[in-house]
Amino acid sequence: MSQRYLLHGAGIVTAGETFQADLRVRNRRICEIGSGLRPGSSELQLDCSGHFIYPGLINSHDHLAFNLFPRLGEPPYENSYEWGRDLHAKWNSTIESIQRIPLRWRLAWGAWKNLLSGISLVIHHDHYSLHFLSRFPIEVFRRYTFAHSMQFDPDLRDALARRKRGAPFMIHLAEGKDDACTAEVKSLNEVGGLDERTVAVHAVGITEDDIRLLQKSRASVVWCPSSNIFLFGKTAPVMSLCGRVPLALGTDSTLTGSLTLFDEMRAARKASSLSAKDIFALVTEAPRRIFGLASDAGTLCREGSADLFMLPDSSGDPYETVLAANPGTISLSMKGGRPVFFDPALFPHLINGRGGMDITLEGKGKFITDNDFPRLYKNLRPYLGHYSYLDVN
Query: pLDDT for 268-311, tens place per residue?
Result: 999 999 999 999 999 999 999 999 999 999 999 999 999 999 99
Region 371-383: mean pLDDT is: 96
Residue 323 to residue 268: CA distance in whole angstroms: 10
Give me the half-sphere count of Cα atoms (radius 13 Å) on the Cβ side of residue 147: 24
What's at 97, amino acid-wise?
Answer: S
Domain with CATH 2.30.40.10 in the chain: 4-56+298-383
CA atoms within 13 A on the CB side of 150: 25
Does the pLDDT of residue 350 top 60, yes or no? yes
Tell me: pLDDT of 3 over 90: no
- What is the side-by-side strand order in the sheet with 57-62? 57-62, 119-124, 139-140
pLDDT at 151: 93
Query: What's the confidence (pLDDT) of residue 40?
Result: 86
Q: What are the tens digits of pLDDT across the range 310-337? A: 999 999 999 999 999 999 999 999 999 9
- The residues of the chain that CATH labels 3.20.20.140 are 58-290
- Tens of pLDDT, residues 197-214: 999 999 999 999 999 999
What integer is the mean pLDDT of 356-380?
A: 96
Contact indicator for 140, 124 with CB cutoff of 8 Å:
yes
Q: Which of 43, 31, 101, 44 is nearest to 69 (CA)?
A: 101
Q: Above pLDDT 90, what percent of the chain?
A: 94
Q: Is residue 190 pLDDT above 90, yes or no?
A: yes
**Interacting residues of 232 by C-beta distance below 8 A, sequence separation 6+:** 75, 76, 77, 78, 79, 176, 177, 204
Decide: 96 and 104 in contact? Cβ < 8 Å: no
51: helix, coil or strand? strand
Q: Helix H segments across 155-291?
A: 156-161, 179-182, 184-190, 208-217, 225-232, 238-241, 261-270, 276-281, 285-290
Determine the Cα–Cα distance for residues 338 and 14; give it in Å rounded to an integer.
20
- Looking at the domain that runs over 58-290, which CATH code has it been given? 3.20.20.140
Output the pLDDT for position 393: 66
Global pTM value = 0.97
Q: What average pLDDT does the segment 371-377 reach?
A: 96
**329-358: average pLDDT:** 92
Q: What is the pLDDT of residue 154?
A: 82
Q: Does residue 220 carry a pLDDT above 90?
A: yes
For residue 203, what pLDDT is reported?
98
Tell me: pLDDT of 194 over 90.
Answer: yes
**How much is the pLDDT for 153?**
87
Average pLDDT over residues 171-181: 96
Instruction: Name the CATH superfamily, with its identifier, for domain 4-56+298-383.
Output: Urease, subunit C, domain 1 (2.30.40.10)
The predicted pLDDT at position 263 comes to: 98
